[in-house]
């Protein structure tokens, strides 16, 4: 029997974000504009999930693909700083690390992404040796990783066979085609974590109720994230609606969904009941919105619980 040294192995996309702020006007062909502020940070929703789950106290390893370049170094360094195991990240010298360039204009933003290495992660990169060291497998951003598409059902099947618990956050499909074989994938996914629009798009349903009906035969725990409306849990034929820890003073909602996932999965791997996991997910999603970016509010478990107490009267 292999020793389980990680609470969770996260498989997902990795990239850096180049944020340009205070830009004098919108881009125009053939002209140069100035941005007074810039920031280069770790991007990707899988990385936010892994970082925050690690900050909450779990031992987390990451399996993803990046280049052997400076942006790749930044990705590894940032995850290491959060305590995430990065030896499981594959660095390919023939590929570029992915980047998203974000032009920020007040509430609006324009983004261009070069996926780079994240396009090339495949099932064979997620080895049994890695899986055997983990208690739980989380996969995120299905549609951003075309190399994984045909292997995802098999990856989850293998994880279950090896005795891991599993979760999946599909995230948005930029192509809006929603080609996702849920009948074959979901039976081996213990926790499925789409947001409301993703659920409707994946199931081609008009309402959440109809979407849940379509997934019922295949899904185990289903959690539907609903922004400032909280979340819905479908479990064992029952629906549980959990109100949000409402934040009326949102700094930004970048990564709120990933932070919800981190809180839910933390409780899940600790063996908590599904409704407890849901409540804690709502809490960590709300905490996320109290600071800038996806990881700003997640220094460590104690700080998160302090924010929870001060801003949302949690635990009082």
Ligand X SMILES: Nc1ncnc2c1ncn2[C@@H]1O[C@H](COP(=O)(O)OP(=O)(O)OP(=O)(O)O)[C@@H](O)[C@H]1O
- Regarding 98 and contact with Mg ion (CB under 5 A), the answer is no
* Partner whose footprint covers residue 98, from ligand X, Mg ion, none (CB < 5 to 8 Å by kind): none
Residue 226 is encoded by which pair of tokens? 């609903």
Which stretch of DSSP H or E encloses residue 84? Answer: none
Stretch that binds ligand X, among 4-12, 134-142, 210-218, 227-235 (CB under 6 A): 227-235
Neighbour-count burial for 1-32, b at 16+ CB within 10 Å, e otherwise? eeeeebbbbbbbbbbbbbbbeebeeeeeeeee
Q: Are 106 and 48 in contact (CB under 8 A)?
A: no
What radius of gyration do the chain's Cα atoms show? 19
The answer to whether residues 63 and 129 touch, using CB atoms and an 8 Å cutoff, is no
47 contacts 151 by C-beta, under 8 angstroms:
no
CB atoms within 10 A of CB 34: 9
In the list 45, 52, 145, 166, the residue contacting ligand X (rule: CB under 6 A) is 45
Task: Please choose, out of 2-10, 103-111, 242-250, 299-307, the segment that lies near ligand X by the rule CB under 6 A.
Answer: 242-250
Q: Tell me: does residue 230 bind ligand X (CB under 6 A).
A: yes
Nearest residue by C-beta to Mg ion?
Answer: 257
String marking each residue 146-185 x if it binds ligand X according to CB under 6 A: -------------------------x--------------
Query: Which among Mg ion, ligand X, none contacts residue 88 (Cβ within 5 to 8 A by kind)?
Result: none
227 binding ligand X? (CB under 6 A) = yes
Nearer to ligand X, 52 or 88 (CB): 52
Per rule CB under 5 A, is residue 257 in the interface with Mg ion?
Answer: yes
> Which entry of ligand X, Mg ion, none binds 116, CB below 5 to 8 A by partner kind?
none
- Tokens linked to 256: 């709120």
b/e per residue, 111-122, with b = 16+ CB within 10 A? Answer: eebebbbbbbbb
Strand-strand pairing, 108-114 and 98-105:
antiparallel
| Nearer to ligand X (CB atom), residue 127 or residue 207 | 207
Half-sphere exposure (Cβ direction) of 108: Cα atoms closer than 13 Å: 5
**Of 20-28, 68-76, 98-106, 251-259, which part binds ligand X (CB under 6 A)?**
251-259
Stretch that binds Mg ion, among 1-9, 51-59, 149-157, 255-263 (CB under 5 A): 255-263
How many residues bind ligand X, per CB under 6 A?
A: 24
Residues near Mg ion, by CB under 5 A: 257
* Residues near ligand X (CB under 6 A): 45, 171, 195, 225-228, 230-231, 244-247, 250, 253, 255-258, 260, 282, 285-286, 289
């Amino acid at each position: 029997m292999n020793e389980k040294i990680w609470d969770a192995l996260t498989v997902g996309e990795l990239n850096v974000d180049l944020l340009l702020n205070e830009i004098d006007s919108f881009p125009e062909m053939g002209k140069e504009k100035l941005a007074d502020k810039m920031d280069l940070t770790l991007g990707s929703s899988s990385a936010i999930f892994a970082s925050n789950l690690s900050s909450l106290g779990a031992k987390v390893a990451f399996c993803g693909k990046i280049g052997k370049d400076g942006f790749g170094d930044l990705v590894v360094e940032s995850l290491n700083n959060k305590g995430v195991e990065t030896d499981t990240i594959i660095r390919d010298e023939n590929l570029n690390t992915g980047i998203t360039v974000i032009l920020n204009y007040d509430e609006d933003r324009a983004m261009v992404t070069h996926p780079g290495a994240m396009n090339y992660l495949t099932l064979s990169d997620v080895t049994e040796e890695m899986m055997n060291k983990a208690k739980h497998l989380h996969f995120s951003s299905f549609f951003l990783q075309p190399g994984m598409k045909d292997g995802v059902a098999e990856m989850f099947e293998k994880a279950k066979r090896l005795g891991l618990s599993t979760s999946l956050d599909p995230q948005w499909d930029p192509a809006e085609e929603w080609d996702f074989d849920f009948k074959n994938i979901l039976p081996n996914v213990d926790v499925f974590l789409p947001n409301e629009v993703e659920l409707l798009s994946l199931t081609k349903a008009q309402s959440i109720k109809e979407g849940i009906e379509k997934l019922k035969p295949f899904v185990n725990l289903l959690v539907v994230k609903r922004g400032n409306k909280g979340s819905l849990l479908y479990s064992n034929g029952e629906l549980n609606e959990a109100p949000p820890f409402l934040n009326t003073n949102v700094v930004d909602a970048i990564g709120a969904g990933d932070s919800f996932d981190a809180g839910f999965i933390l409780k899940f791997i600790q063996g908590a009941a599904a409704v407890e996991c849901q409540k804690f997910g709502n809490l960590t999603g709300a905490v996320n919105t109290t600071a800038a970016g996806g990881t700003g509010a997640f220094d460590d478990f104690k700080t998160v619980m302090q924010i929870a107490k001060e801003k949302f009267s949690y635990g009082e």
